[in-house]
Amino acid sequence: MEPFLLDPIGDLLPVYKPSGVRIHPADDDGVPDLIGWLSAQPGVPAGTVPVHRLDAPTSGIVLCSADPNVRREASGWFADGRVQKRYLALVFGRARKKGIIRRKLQDARRQRPLEAVTRYRLAEALGNNSLLVVTPETGRKHQIRRHLHGIGHSIIGDERYRSRRFKSVPAFPGRLWLHAERLILPDGTLIEAPLPEALENHLDVLRAR
């Protein structure tokens, strides 16, 4: 599946990024990247690049812009926690109805641990697994993945932060089960991206068991 454009918001261009697509180009290993894809799209202004990051295996919304001033302002929203972010994650184990994870995470660039806060609530129990709605309040690298792994609820399909106890998942979709489904901008603008078909189909299989 390729990325696709969502409805523009002024000079901001929301884009749906599929799982397996990087934000930035890396070594010539054949892995697609969002910046390269944007540069090849007719009608997309030259110099359009992402405002923020999303892990390569995670699908969902990425805000982009060709205007450096707009990018600078929007980047500040994310840095200041003024963008409300919501993810869906399918994790191993039976999670509590809701929880707050407050645990500092080591930052490799700054060489020190940084404050990190992640909230979650149980959307649905599916056998021995749990579908969570996750709202990170900070934006540390791999924050959701690291925090959920740390409380014993690794995300299904996470090759880096693997579960130590749970392994077999029926109809495993072959990807990280994490989707950035919603952003709410400081002015209240809501941006949504539907759950990918592969993840929706996986939920249908688990619900039918």
Q: Active-site residues: which are they? A: 55
Q: In terms of DSSP bridges, do strands 59-65 and 178-184 run parallel, antiparallel, or are they unpaired?
A: parallel
Phi and psi at 104, nearest 5°, equal: -60, 145
Q: What distance in Å separates the CA atoms of residue 169 and residue 45, rounded to the nearest whole number? A: 43
Among the listed residues 129, 131, 132, 124, the one whose alpha carbon sits nearest the alpha carbon of residue 170: 129
Render 111-131 in DSSP notation, one character per residue.
Answer: TEEE--EEEEEEEEEETTEEE
Amino acid, single-letter form, for residue 84:
Q
Q: How many helices (H) and strands (E) does the chain have?
A: 4, 12
Phi and psi at 177, nearest 5°, equal: -90, 65
Among the listed residues 18, 43, 47, the one whose alpha carbon sits nearest the alpha carbon of residue 35: 47
Amino acid, single-letter form, for residue 127:
G
